[in-house]
Amino acid sequence: MKDALILGGGFAGVWSAASAVRLARSAGSDRLRVRLISAGDDMVIRPRLYERNPDKMRIDLDRLLNPIGVERLNARVESIDAASQTVMAHGADGVLVTASYDRLVLATGSQLKRPAFPGAAHAFNIDTLNAAVALDIHLHHVSQLPPRARYTAVVVGAGFTGLEIATELVGRLRDVAAGQEVRVILVERAKVLGPELGDVPRPVIVDALDTLGVERRLGRTVASATETQVALDDGEVIPAATLIWTVGMSASPLTAQIPAERDRFGRLLVDEYLRVTPTVYAAGDTAAAVADGGHPTIQSCQHAQPMGKYAGHNVAADLLGLPMLPFTADPYSNCIDLGAAGALTTVGWERTVDKEGSEAKAIKHAINTQWIYPPTDSADALLAKAGHFSNSAYAQEIS
């Protein structure tokens, strides 16, 4: 019996498990055991944490893994010993457990870099389910705060996440403001909005922000904060009851325990099969792979899902002596939610605008509520989708 051990219960981890099981079953092999360790019982639909009711943005992992026979351990990984091929983890009951492996898939995701300015503890974020729920609870109770600026929110970072939460906040605050003035202020250190999104989609983004009344403070950042105000580095003080930080992501710190090269985000450099070392593979936000046109993959479910499928397939193939598949990403595209102003879809790494407004919003809704969800309670449905290595709705199964 060979052991494939997957760390992480997000998109990359779940699809790694399903893809490994799929290949073993299609090969008629009973020589592969697939196990998964996750620090929680749910697969969090992380791309939706900017929305209302974030507590609903999760799936019971057992509804995904039990039907396909994957053993799951609810534990927090403490260490990886690549030399002895063992993992140490603290279970939910506090007991330290050891798991050995023949092949490992590291799919423990990424995390937000926390700010260090005075008063940073007052900043909310939407990086995790718990953090997003804490923000949601806060927003439902702002009407009970002192009246000065209780319906004013400052969002730091005008990248993908910052734009989505800032535009969504307008509506979420209006839900509780009972007709009173709502202000959302977007603070960005760069001189332009969405610096990593490029120049092409920016006019559409600006129009959306203008439509919603989202204010901008460009070329600035936060110097300090309290529960009732945010001070910027140019001396402006903004009375605000809500501060949200969205700046900076880094790969799971577990990547540092693998003896291999990492990129500036802490991601492990992988080969065409998503292999880091002869016994370790990486997928999702922990892996720096090459996408279409030689571009590095980005930390998003768009790349995490197919990377997970390829990694799981290749781990199983490696252990069973079957052909491996080189990772091939779909042509890059993007879809940004812009709240009540609609959405924006782009194609290519130049991010050429494809659709905007209500048409793009319909696509974003389909992505968020249908396309990124794995099938539950059905081994056949999950394993069939694990064979669709492309994100395209028209992808053909690779047999």
Q: Which residues contact 308 (CB under 8 A, 6 or more apart)?
A: 11, 12, 13, 14, 15, 16, 19, 105, 107, 283, 284
Structure tokens at 152: 């004013």
Read off the pLDDT of residues 335-367 as tens digits, 9 standing for 90 and up. Answer: 999 999 999 999 999 999 999 999 999 999 999
What is the value of pTM for the model shown?
0.95
Where are the extended beta strands (E) located within 121-204?
152-156, 183-188
Q: Which residue has the tokens 């899902």?
A: 305
CA 196 vs CA 90, 200, 399: distances in Å:
38, 11, 37
Read off the pLDDT of residues 143-199 as tens digits, 9 standing for 90 and up. Answer: 999 888 999 999 999 999 999 999 999 999 999 999 999 999 999 999 999 998 999
Residue 278 half-sphere exposure, CB side, CA atoms within 13 Å? 3
- CA-based Rg of the chain, rounded to a whole angstrom? 22
Read off the pLDDT of residues 57-91 as tens digits, 9 standing for 90 and up. Answer: 999 999 999 999 999 999 999 999 999 999 999 99
Residue 81 half-sphere exposure, CB side, CA atoms within 13 Å? 10
pLDDT reading at 397 higher than 50: no
| Cβ pair 9, 63 in contact under 8 A | no
Which phi and psi angles does 66 have, rounded to 5°? -60, -45
- Give the 3-state secondary structure of 291-313: CHHHCECCCCHHHHHHHHHHHHH
Kindly state the percentage of the chain with pLDDT values over 70. Answer: 98
CA 204 vs CA 157, 193, 352: distances in Å:
18, 11, 11
The CA-based angle 58-5-72, given to 5 degrees, is: 45
Sign of the CA dihedral 268, 158, 57, 303? negative
Task: Grade residue 396 by pLDDT with cuts at 50, 70 and 90.
Answer: very low
Q: How far, in Å, CA of 66 to CA of 63, rounded? A: 6
pLDDT of residue 392: 63
Read off the pLDDT of residues 95-128 as tens digits, 9 standing for 90 and up. Answer: 999 999 999 999 999 999 999 999 999 999 999 9
| Cβ pair 15, 113 in contact under 8 A | no
Task: Grade residue 399 by pLDDT with cuts at 50, 70 and 90.
Answer: very low
Q: How far, in Å, CA of 22 to CA of 167, rounded? A: 40
Average pLDDT over residues 229-246: 98
pLDDT of residue 83: 95
pLDDT reading at 43 higher than 80: yes
Task: Grade residue 2 by pLDDT with cuts at 50, 70 and 90.
Answer: very high
The amino acid at residue 294 is: G
Taking all residues of the chain, what is their mean pLDDT, rounded to a whole number?
95
- The residues pairing with 238 across neighbouring beta strands, listed in sequence order, are 230
pLDDT of residue 393: 44
Read off the pLDDT of residues 212-235 as tens digits, 9 standing for 90 and up. Answer: 999 999 999 999 999 999 999 999
Read off the pLDDT of residues 247-271 as tens digits, 9 standing for 90 and up. Answer: 999 999 999 999 999 999 999 999 9
Task: Grade residue 36 by pLDDT with cuts at 50, 70 and 90.
Answer: very high
pLDDT of residue 92: 86
Sign of the CA dihedral 153, 154, 159, 161? negative
- The residues pairing with 229 across neighbouring beta strands, listed in sequence order, are 239
pLDDT reading at 398 higher than 70: no
Around Cβ 191, how many Cβ atoms within 10 Å? 9
